[in-house]
Amino acid sequence: MSNTNQLYIPTFEDVKAAHQRIAPYIHRTPVLTSSYFDSLCGAELFFKCENFQKAGAFKVRGACNAVFGLSDEKAAKGVATHSSGNHALSLSYAAGRRGIKATVVMPRTAPEAKKAAVRGYGGEVLECEPSTTAREEMLEQLVARTGADFVHPYNDHRVIAGQGTCSLELYQEIEALDAVVAPIGGGGMISGTCLTLSNVSPRTAIYAAEPKNADDVYRSFHAGEIIEDDSPQTVADGLKVGLRPRTWHFVSKYVSDVLLATEAEIIDAMYLTWQRMKIVIEPSSAVPLATILKNKSLFEGKRVGVILTGGNVDL
Amino acid sequence: MSNTNQLYIPTFEDVKAAHQRIAPYIHRTPVLTSSYFDSLCGAELFFKCENFQKAGAFKVRGACNAVFGLSDEKAAKGVATHSSGNHALSLSYAAGRRGIKATVVMPRTAPEAKKAAVRGYGGEVLECEPSTTAREEMLEQLVARTGADFVHPYNDHRVIAGQGTCSLELYQEIEALDAVVAPIGGGGMISGTCLTLSNVSPRTAIYAAEPKNADDVYRSFHAGEIIEDDSPQTVADGLKVGLRPRTWHFVSKYVSDVLLATEAEIIDAMYLTWQRMKIVIEPSSAVPLATILKNKSLFEGKRVGVILTGGNVDL
């Protein structure tokens, strides 16, 4: 698959450059607190609200960094990806802002609502048979035919650097965080968080929060190598994908621990957040709070950043 | 019913005093914008998010102003009210912060969840038979027996001055508003809005948004006198109550128009707000947006404040 700098690991300089590059196209999202959750957890929690982000999720940071970092010549050929989730919406949004074409390869069996959402942000949907092979073949043909730039949802240095801007904003706003907890699927957000915090605040522990039903990162972390899940089933549908070399680099090097939550714990944490904080978050975003609630002693008395990654949930 | 200064109409000085008095106990809530809604309405909308307020609604402003304005001697006797909604929670919260007792008279038929919510904020629930007469008698007896201060949900000058602090904050943050739209039930929020804006920004038009199924204010406004509803049925359950002399004073004098929305329009606007702004609002809070969407020409090209009054909805 065509992807420039396949082995390049992004640096903190890339994060700072990304932040400048994407600033006009993203929201600087607020950090909210909740006296209810503080008292429930015995900790001070700081919620970085990427559910309020453009296109409804943090993914727009990485997508904008990739899209706006292209030369005019390269940009004219458009961008492409495979995703049926937030990355597809974000890439479509970013391409729309630059005035270029975004093509998203999606299985023909994907829900019509997801295809419509991509089209709503100006992206074009290209349907493939529902298999990994078919998806990769179609994307490869598309790139060969059009010269479109492939923007992987997370195994892309531009995307990781973009996601790193989220914890950079959190660090700029909230002092002396003892820990940050973020959900993990493919590892784009966690990698960006590791990249930024290992530079600006190495004393801050980084926890990856994962659904127990999709615990490939937990198993990889303890095995010391990437282990893949076999079609995991979880309500946190953004977290079903697996690690790739660039994200494994950061996870294996900087993550303090991987914490698991059951489906019931994730759903409870999601509704509790809706009810007490009056904000809409998607299931993936509830995994960190669910893990904090079941590991209270780990966070007691600490200042903890919590990344609420997105708010795109079917109501 | 015992209530000091029965005929006193609050002034803008009272609003400013209230703001100072209640500041330590309330949130200065954020003002959010939405490019989606701006483009849908052809206007610039500024949402004052009282759904993020302590106890989940603006009502805590008036309740805190009443509770913290009491002398120590008077406060020691506690406060009391009748309400099964946000005012009951707010008064319980305010009393708890001052360390005094709040007693709430509620029909024994009220949902257990509402009684539990009051108790959750530290209030005591006193159950009465489900009739206005029974409620008033029990409250009167309570006040006679204990000397508790009766804090009416809206026909109380301290409460109206407290609610006026909401649009004061909006005015301080957002310049040159052409209009403000707020929901109306008994008229406490609208009265506070009128009180503040008629002083600081008399050019700002004030619209009261009301459920068509509980259109007593609409009919009163056009008749020139208070007309009562006969047990209205609306999903916006905070808006079923009727005007009283103090709130009619402000509505009749300062409101530009009363706009109506159907139940379906209210529910659509509520879900659309959850979905696009990623915030949880209660049905009453959705009435302003519903009226703006159906009266687009009235607001086209204008800068419009929208009061999102609360977020206490059964999910």
Residues 6+ positions from A100 with CB-CB distance below 8 Å: A67, A75, A76, A78, A79
Cβ contact (<8 Å) for A278 and B275?
no
Residue A173 has a CB neighbour count (10 Å cut-off) of 13
Taking the alpha carbons at both ends of chain B, their separation in whole angstroms is 36
CATH number of A60-150: 3.40.50.1100
**What percent of chain B shows pLDDT beyond 90?**
89
Q: Where is average pLDDT lowest: A10-19, B114-123, B198-207?
A: B114-123
Checking if the pLDDT of B92 tops 80, the result is yes
User: Confidence class of residue B6 from pLDDT cuts 50, 70 and 90?
Assistant: low
Q: How far apart are CA A177 and CA B173, in angstroms?
A: 30
Residue B3 has a pLDDT of 47
Of B30, B277, B280, the CB nearest to A274: B280
B33/chain A closest Cα distance in angstroms: 10
Complex ipTM: 0.91
Which residues in B lie closer than 8 A to residue A315 (C-beta atoms)? Answer: 271, 274-275
Question: pLDDT digit string (tens) for A56-102?
Answer: 999 999 999 999 999 999 999 999 999 879 999 999 999 999 999 99
Which residues in B lie closer than 8 A to residue A86 (C-beta atoms)? Answer: none
When the candidates are 3.40.50.1100, 3.40.50.1220, 3.30.1490.100, 1.10.287.110, the CATH number that belongs to B12-57+156-308 is: 3.40.50.1100
Q: Structure tokens of B94? A: 């305010």
Cβ contact (<8 Å) for A274 and B56?
no
Residues 6+ positions from A43 with CB-CB distance below 8 Å: A292, A296, A299, A300, A301, A302, A303, A304
A117/chain B closest Cα distance in angstroms: 12
Residues in chain B: 315
Residue A2 has a pLDDT of 43
Residues 6+ positions from A224 with CB-CB distance below 8 Å: A252
Which residues in B lie closer than 8 A to residue A271 (C-beta atoms)? Answer: 315
Residue A4 has a pLDDT of 47
Cβ contact (<8 Å) for B52 and A278?
yes
Residues in chain A: 315
**Closest A-chain CA to B31:** A30
Which residues in A lie closer than 8 A to residue B277 (C-beta atoms)? Answer: 52
User: Confidence class of residue A1 from pLDDT cuts 50, 70 and 90?
Assistant: very low
Which residues in A lie closer than 8 A to residue B315 (C-beta atoms)? Answer: 271, 274-275
Comparing CA positions, the residue from B194, B184, B191 lying closest to residue B258 is B184
| Token pair 């914890």 in the structure block, residue | A167
Cβ contact (<8 Å) for B278 and A274?
no
Please report which helix (H) or strand (E) contains residue B299, including its range: helix B296-299
DSSP track, A134-158: HHHHHHHHHHHHH-PEE--SSSSHH
Checking if the pLDDT of A53 tops 60, the result is yes
**Closest A-chain CA to B308:** A278
Q: How far apart are CA A248 and CA A214, in angstroms?
A: 16
Phi, psi dihedral angles at B193 (to 5 degrees)? -65, -45
Comparing CA positions, the residue from A306, A305, A251, A255 lying closest to residue A281 is A306
Residue A201 has a pLDDT of 98
Question: pLDDT digit string (tens) for A153-170?
Answer: 999 999 999 999 999 999
Q: Structure tokens of B217? A: 């204010």
Cβ contact (<8 Å) for B275 and A315?
yes
User: Confidence class of residue A6 from pLDDT cuts 50, 70 and 90?
Assistant: low
Cβ contact (<8 Å) for B315 and A274?
yes
Start-end ranges of CATH 3.40.50.1100 in chain A?
12-57+156-308, 60-150
Q: How far apart are CA B211 and CA B236, in angstroms?
A: 7
A290, A265 Cβ separation under 8 angstroms: yes
Comparing CA positions, the residue from B184, B258, B262, B261 lying closest to residue B223 is B258
Checking if the pLDDT of A198 tops 80, the result is yes
Which residues in B lie closer than 8 A to residue A51 (C-beta atoms)? Answer: 278
- B273, B276, B278, B309: best to mutate for the A interface, most A CBs within 10 A: B278
pTM of the full structure: 0.92
Cβ contact (<8 Å) for A279 and B275?
no
